Structure 1
Amino acid sequence: MREICIAHSPDADDLFMYYAIVFGWVDTPCPFSNLALDIQTLNALALQKRYEVSAISFGVYPLIVQDYALLTTGLSFGDGYGPKLIKKSTTTLKKNFKVALSGEHTSNALLFRLKYPNARIVYKNFLEIEGAVLSGEVDAGVLIHESILNFDPSLVVEAFLWDIWLEMTHKELPLPLGGMAISRSIPLNQAITIQDVLTKAVTIATKYKPLLSKMLLERNLVRVNEEDLNTYLNLYANTQSISLSPIQLEALEMLFALGYNKGFYSSKIDPKDCLIPTEYTGLRYS
């Protein structure tokens, strides 16, 4: 196998789930390299088929299903929590309020657009959203990633996307946010190997969380302090990130169905049909 480049975001959960490979804690059958880019940038590049293995927002996946399969590891789901719609405490939101979102193809943008179809949307890097609300450029904004942990005290939460998700699904399923996709151009046996390596990385990172977190902090690889890093990883990089579960599959199916029913996707897809057929290994060597 040639060198494999893994594109991921610079957010703490993605770094945590990948860096066991960088630190040499995982044996790899070939050289692995990594590239960190903003998640919406990764979504846009996935639409262009730029990287063979990439972190993506689940909200973009139905648009790239012909070119990418879903990996079953490196998962970020919300379970009782998630992105937050914030505004100034003195602001009353009208039906067509102006809002800053972190990217057209992010999962939070999909849910927001389903809930607030009349809102006027501007897209910004997620690090700029709080400032846009504070300056009055927009009436509200959806905070994601580490920005949900701390924000200016003059801002209040108008809505939790977790509550919107429950309202739409009528069922307490985990909220699908992000995962990993792999190009269908990669030979199947190699795709299985890549998935195995990444699964081991997330497993080892989770097992040795205090040590890995300390190393990330010492190298200034994350944007948050030790306390916030621990809180954030407990939310988005945990044992539920290691391997896709049946309830997570059900949640993905629900997300894709919601988007399809409202015309955001041209076809309704079943995520079970989008996974790598790992049984191939057993058949090949039987």
Structure 2
Amino acid sequence: MKLTLGFSPCPNDTFIFDALIHHKIDTEGLDFEVFFDDVETLNQKAMQGVLDITKLSYHAFAYVIDKYVLLDAGSALGFGVGPLLISNFAISISDLQEKSMQYKIGIPGKYTTANFLLGLAFPEAKNKQEMVFSEIENALLDGKIDIGLIIHENRFTYQDKGLHKILDLGDYWERQTGCAIPLGGIVINRRLPLDVQLKVNRCIRRSVEFAFANPKSGLAFIREHSQEMSEEVMYKHIDLYVNKYSVDLGAEGRKAITLLFDKALEKEIIPPIKEEIFLSPLTP
């Protein structure tokens, strides 16, 4: 059986899926047609329901929960991994709170979890410009935007370009909740039979476990898609976003995701949720 699978070319995703798509593990008779896209493109594809399995932002998941259910394997949650607000000149948090409408903010997509967190921290910040995440640093340097909301490997590179951190929104979330921040998850189309959904979940977990046991196995594949990143930055990126929650969400991961949605519903940032979020009951 062949299934369509979408994920980003970022090192954390290629690290997770290398063993799966290259059959380094038992895929239980499944094959995968892979689509590489940035996170906001994946979010938009999920809105259309075009892929069988896809990575997407947790913010976006709230809008497609009628089409997709969340797998326990493959997610990106963690502490100290949140998106950063940065600028090319000194801006204090109090300045941003008082003058948020005056600043043009570059964001990596409307439905990213990064933008969701920005809305929680600075609800008055409405002057936003959507762009591909990798273009935000240069847009700041060129003066096209005043503030950038950065994700992924850019948190390792912005200081080298002379840019300044205003706030770590992941840290903001952690101080507010005590939970890991849910960034991205792997979802599967509800129209697929339950046995296939469970099989995919097992295979992705197996792929993550293989990657942890053989961290250099997918190096060529990771490097091929890593946009000329150094090996050191690639593995920093992987260490930041691939962890125990990527193997299995567990009770802690599910709690963090549920809390994210509860806060979003409370502030009317997302529509009401009418479907079960998780694929299967939590196993003891």
After TM superposition, the score normalised by the length of structure 2 is 0.90
Amino acid at match of 1:17: I
Distance 2:79 2:274 in 1: 23
Distance 2:189 2:222 in 1: 29
Identity of aligned residues (%): 27
Distance 2:251 2:156 in 1: 29
Tell me the SS of whatever aligns to 2:216: helix
Q: Does 1:191 align with 2:194?
A: no
Q: Does 1:212 align with 2:218?
A: yes
| Alpha-carbon contact 1:257-1:268 (below 8 Å) kept | no
Partner of 2:129: 122
Number of positions where the alignment pairs a residue of Structure 1 with one of Structure 2: 272
Distance 1:153 1:199 in 2: 37
* 1:40-79 pair list within 5 angstroms: 40-79=40-79
| Alpha-carbon contact 1:102-1:109 (below 8 Å) kept | yes
* Aligned-residue offset at 1:135: 1.2
User: Tell me, which stretches of 5 or more residues in structure 1 are unaligned?
Assistant: 280-286
Amino acid at match of 1:274: I
After TM superposition, the score normalised by the length of structure 1 is 0.89
Q: Which has the higher contact order (CA 8 A, sep 6+)?
A: 2
Q: Does 1:202 align with 2:205?
A: no
Amino acid at match of 1:132: A
Distance 2:149 2:217 in 1: 32
| Alpha-carbon contact 1:73-1:242 (below 8 Å) kept | yes
Partner of 2:155: 148
Offset from partner CA, 1:138-183 (integer Å, 9 cap, x none): 11011101111112442110000122213432xx210100010111
Distance 1:215 1:98 in 2: 37
Partner of 1:250: 255
Higher mean C-alpha displacement, 251-260 vs 84-93: 84-93
Q: Does 1:276 align with 2:279?
A: yes
| Alpha-carbon contact 2:18-2:221 (below 8 Å) kept | no
Partner of 2:24: 25
| Alpha-carbon contact 1:89-1:154 (below 8 Å) kept | no
Distance 1:268 1:68, change over 3 A: closer
Q: Does 1:229 align with 2:234?
A: yes
| Alpha-carbon contact 1:206-1:238 (below 8 Å) kept | no
* Aligned-residue offset at 1:90: 4.0
* Aligned-residue offset at 1:278: 7.0
Tell me the SS of whatever aligns to 1:185: coil
* Aligned-residue offset at 1:42: 0.7
Distance 1:58 1:36 in 2: 18
Amino acid at match of 1:162: G
Higher mean C-alpha displacement, 120-129 vs 86-95: 86-95
Amino acid at match of 1:260: L
Partner of 1:284: none
